[in-house]
A and B are shown apart, each in its own frame.
Chain A
């Protein structure tokens, strides 16, 4: 009898949580006055608290952009640090409104997990990092047979790793931890020879190691990892707001609208720029979406355009110094492309 009761309590808790998440997310968010944003427990460049305890990174800034679109104020965000394992349950149960946590977009997550990915804020791929000082002569992932590999559990990384070694007929010892900090510590202590995760993550993690210069990221990229924010299924309005916030960031960059010139741009001669910034007479673009008409102005004022966000967090303005590469706009040979705002 007792264990049935415990099961009932557990299931009831989930049941209540699920029903709490049912109402329109936009109304919930407006009623509580802030957006609850699920981020990582600390990945430099994507979401990590700085020395003042403020969350920094592309993923954190994306939530600020959504807050700016909804409230006109990018600071109305509360961050929930989540492990890889906790992230989907937190979104499904309604604990967070957006999952913006370097999460790979896959079909399984879009369908069976009941999520909707809004786009790809960072095109990534899985790589390997080794300690070159301890392993001289290793310069390709194909030489890694027999190695102990550190990996975070419950990630696509873990699955790609198994596939890669299997298809190349190599063996490895997985050393699996639930939390990123545990993986970092184990790799730094020499428990494993190889660290594998998304390449951008490897560059960020390398900075936190004892002797960053000793470690090299191997050239192979073994998977496609389109990282992006996700929301719950079944709330189209909220899905559209988050999706078009992402597109607005890209369109702003394409039109040359920056944090510095956004107020001047309002008086631009270009009808397209005026339309995007909500300066057209009797415009309804913002209100149709469920936000104010100057939503793009608010977004750019809060975090800048996509390019500024990228350079500040992972690019030339950050210690990571990652090149734009395939994350450049489509006009510059990259993959970032947004439908027009009209």
Chain B
């Protein structure tokens, strides 16, 4: 009893000030107070100075009529829409280019990364040259390369290059027929979703059966048949409701059909190519990080080289690859703000225009920062979930 009391009092050494626990709380509280005071002082300073300079402040301007047009918009937008909607259009454009860019960059990155480890001299060298070129050029120059170097030298609209299936390519972009879904086409979508669900179910069952009995099942072909076959069947059953609108020549431009503008194309291609070079190096590092003993052991078990890569090397490599991959995805998203140089209406461009038309610089910058931060945090959160699934389950 007595010895216990002595033990309990020992860390305080009799003085309240010397208690490390109290000290810890004190300094944390101090930092918090300083931080709150700092934020308050800055906010106060901004508000007072804006009022003194007779500059309007607050977020009320977001409800005002925008009055300017935006070239690319995934949602309904006109000059009568609000400033908020203009910013939303920019945000969606940023998300679109980031998502398709991430997917493409990952595919190119994996191909090039594995290619750098190929036994074929030519493939290996081509992949090395790709990585060294794109990794060592600033992304802005890559964007200009695609915009001014490739797409701007295409012919004008009247001399468009004819491509198969009624598509055209000219310096105003890539035009292809737009699908017009008639009545009953919802059946096709339902069939597609059903096909995907059934394919997933079949894959699961086949895996369980192979685990239990060792008998393989042709999962790939069954899945393709389900995912492609079912919608085709639905298409036939609902009476072929699909028709196409083809792009046609008019006074100035091609009209009709679907247009992919050169601003989007060059930004998308540049971001994909640029980030793919980094992803390729991450993939190469991940594969090299799996010890050769693993490959040798798998070979000793009699697995073929394709199966070794798919079943032994890649699952282990993914654990090394995913964390740095997240950084590259974040980089790609943030680099998409370079769109402003070529006039793609992303978040930075539209929020910047709003900022300039209303003169509310502080609010505009705060909105941009908050949105990019949110986008990055969401990307990180998704990648953390993926990482947790891939991580080694320790028993």
* A in complex with B: yes
CB-CB contacts below 8 Å: B336-360 with A: 340-343, 345, 349, 352-353, 355-359
Q: Does B109 reach chain A (CB closer than 8 Å)?
A: no
A154 touches B353 (CB 8 A): yes
Q: Select A11's contact among B69, B356, B362, beta carbons within 8 Å.
A: B362
Q: Is the CB of B359 within 8 A of A113?
A: yes
CB distance from B47 to the nearest CB of A (A): 9
- B147-183 interface bits toward A, Cβ cutoff 8 Å, 1 = contact, 0 = none: 0100010001000000000000001100000000000
Known: A147-B252, A153-B352. A114 touches B68 (CB 8 A): no
Q: Is B118 in contact with chain A by the CB < 8 A criterion?
A: no
**Per a CB cutoff under 8 Å, which of A153, A177, A191 touches B262?**
A191
The digit string for B168-210, where 1 denotes a CB below 8 A from any CB of A, is: 0001100000000000000000000000000000000000000
A237 at the interface (CB under 8 A from B): no
Chain B residues in 8 Å Cβ range of A108: 359
Structural contact, B68 and A147, CB atoms closer than 8 A = no
Q: Fill in one digit per residue for A152-181: 1 if any B CB lies within 8 Å of its CB, else 0.
A: 011000110111001000001111111000
Complex formed: what's the CA distance from A153 to B250 in Å?
A: 27
B38 interfacial contact with A, CB 8 Å: yes
- Complex Cα distance, B80 from A166, in Å, reads 10
Complex: A200 Cα to B356 Cα, angstroms: 23
Name the one of B43, B49, B67, B362 contacting A159, with C-beta atoms under 8 angstroms.
B67
Interface flags, A204-227, vs B, CB<8A=1, else 0: 000000000000000000000000
- What separation, in Å, do the CA atoms of A253 and B326 have in the docked complex? 67
- B53 and A232 form a contact (CB under 8 A): yes
Are A189 and B171 within 8 A (Cβ)? yes
- Please report which residues of chain A, range 16-33, place their CB below 8 angstroms from some CB of chain B when the two chains form the complex: 18-19, 21-22
B13 in the interface, Cβ–Cβ < 8 Å?
no
B357 and A159 contact, CB distance less than 8 A: yes
Taking the closest CB of chain B, its distance from the CB of A207, in whole angstroms, is 22
CB pair B172–A191 under 8 Å, yes or no, is yes
Asked if A240 is at the interface of the complex by the 8 Å CB criterion, the answer is: no
Query: Are B352's CB and A85's CB within 8 A?
Result: yes
Q: Contacting A154 at CB < 8 Å: which of B69, B251, B356?
A: B356
**Known A-B contacts A154-B353, A162-B67, A176-B71; A14 and B46 likewise in contact (beta carbons under 8 Å):** yes
Q: How far is the CA of A147 from the CA of B252 in the complex (A)?
A: 5
Interface centre among B45, B49, B50, by most A CB within 10 Å? B49
List A contacts of B371 (CB < 8 A): none
Contact-size category for B: 35 or more
B260 at the interface (CB under 8 A from A): no
Contact B50 A18 (CB under 8 A): yes
Assess the A182–B352 pair: CB atoms within 8 A. no
* Contact, CB under 8 Å: A163 / B52: no
B46 touches A175 (CB 8 A): no
The residue among A1, A6, A186, A191 with the most chain B CB atoms within 10 A of its own CB is A191
Interchain CA distance A138-B71 in the complex, whole Å: 23
| Residue in A85, A162, A185, A191 whose beta carbon sits within 8 Å of that of B171 in the complex | A191
CB of B264, distance to nearest CB on chain A (Å): 12
Which of B148, B156, B252, B358 lies in contact with A146, CB distance below 8 A?
A: B252
Q: When the two chains form their complex, are residues A4 and B252 in contact, meaning their CB atoms are under 8 A apart?
A: no
Convert A80-101 into 0s and 1s, putting 1 for each residue whose CB lies closer than 8 angstroms to a CB of B: 0000110011001000000000
Q: Nearest Cβ in chain B — how far from A262, in angstroms? A: 38
Residues from chain B with a CB closer than 8 A to the CB of A10 are 365, 369
Chain A residue numbers with a CB within 8 Å of B171 are 189-191
Q: Is B237 an interface residue (CB 8 A)?
A: no
Question: Does any Cβ of B come within 8 Å of A234's Cβ?
Answer: yes
Note all chain A residues with C-beta closer than 8 A to B79: 159, 162-163, 166
Q: Are B71 and A175 touching (Cβ within 8 A)? A: yes
User: In the complex the two chains form, what is the Cα distance from A174 to B70 in whole Å?
Assistant: 7
- Nearest-CB residue, chain A, relative to B365: A10
Residue from B148, B156, B252 whose CB has the most chain A CB atoms within 10 Å: B252
**Inter-chain contact B362/A182, CB cutoff 8 Å:** no
Give the residue among B52, B69, B349, B362 with the most A Cβ atoms within 10 A: B69
Taking the complex as formed, is A255 at the interface, i.e. its CB lies under 8 A from any CB of chain B?
no
Q: Which residues of chain B are within 8 angstroms of A147 by Cβ–Cβ distance?
A: 251-253
Task: Evaluate contact between B366 and A7: CB separation under 8 angstroms.
Answer: yes
A322 to chain B, nearest CB (A): 27
Q: Cβ of A85: which chain B residues have Cβ within 8 Å of it? A: 352-353, 355-356
Give the residue name and chain of the A residue nearest to B354 (CB).
A154
Q: How far is the CB of A135 from chain B (nearest CB, A)?
A: 8
Q: Does A134 contact B (CB under 8 A)?
A: yes
Q: Give the residues in chain A near B250, CB-CB below 8 Å.
A: 146
A158 CA / B171 CA spacing, docked (Å): 23
Shortest Cβ distance from A13 into B: residue:
B42
A89 to B361, CA, bound (A): 7
Evaluate contact between A233 and B69: CB separation under 8 angstroms: no
Beta-carbon contact of A112 and B358 below 8 Å: yes
Query: Which residues in window 26-85 of B have CB below 8 A to A?
Result: 35, 38-39, 42-43, 45-46, 49-50, 52-56, 67-71, 78-79
Contacts A12-B42, A190-B171, A234-B53 given; does A88 touch B343 at CB 8 Å:
no
Which residue of the partner chain, among A19, A153, A177, contacts B356 with CB atoms under 8 Å? Answer: A153
Task: Give CA–CA (A49, B345) in the complex, Å.
Answer: 30
Smallest Cβ-Cβ distance to A131: which chain B residue: B156
| Residues in B whose Cβ lies below 8 Å from that of A14 | 46, 361-362
What CA separation (Å) do A186 and B362 show in the bound complex? 31
Q: Evaluate contact between A15 and B349: CB separation under 8 angstroms.
A: no
B-chain residues with CB within 8 Å of residue A89 when the two chains form the complex: 361
Identity of the chain B residue whose Cβ is nearest the Cβ of A9 in the assembled complex? B42
Please tell me if B224 contacts chain A, counting CB pairs below 8 Å: no
Residue of A3, A153, A163, A191 near B152 (CB, 8 A) is A191
Contacts A112-B56, A154-B357, A190-B156; A176 near B46 (Cβ below 8 A): no
A contact residues around B172 at 8 Å (CB)? 148, 191
Q: Considering the complex, which residues of chain B in the window 217-276 have a beta carbon less than 8 Å from any beta carbon of chain A?
A: 250-253, 255, 262-263
3 closest residue pairs by CB, A with B: A154-B356, A18-B49, A113-B359
**Can you list 22 A-B contacts (CB < 8 A)?**
A1-B35, A3-B373, A4-B35, A6-B369, A11-B45, A18-B53, A19-B45, A21-B53, A85-B352, A88-B361, A114-B54, A114-B55, A143-B251, A146-B255, A153-B356, A159-B68, A174-B70, A176-B70, A176-B71, A182-B341, A191-B171, A234-B54
Contacts from B to A (Cβ < 8 Å): 35, 38-39, 42-43, 45-46, 49-50, 52-56, 67-71, 78-79, 148, 152, 156, 171-172, 250-253, 255, 262-263, 340-343, 345, 349, 352-353, 355-359, 361-362, 365-366, 369, 373
Given contacts A153-B356, A154-B352, A233-B54, 13 further A-B contacts (CB under 8 A): A12-B42, A22-B49, A85-B355, A135-B251, A148-B252, A154-B356, A158-B68, A159-B68, A162-B69, A174-B68, A182-B341, A191-B152, A191-B262
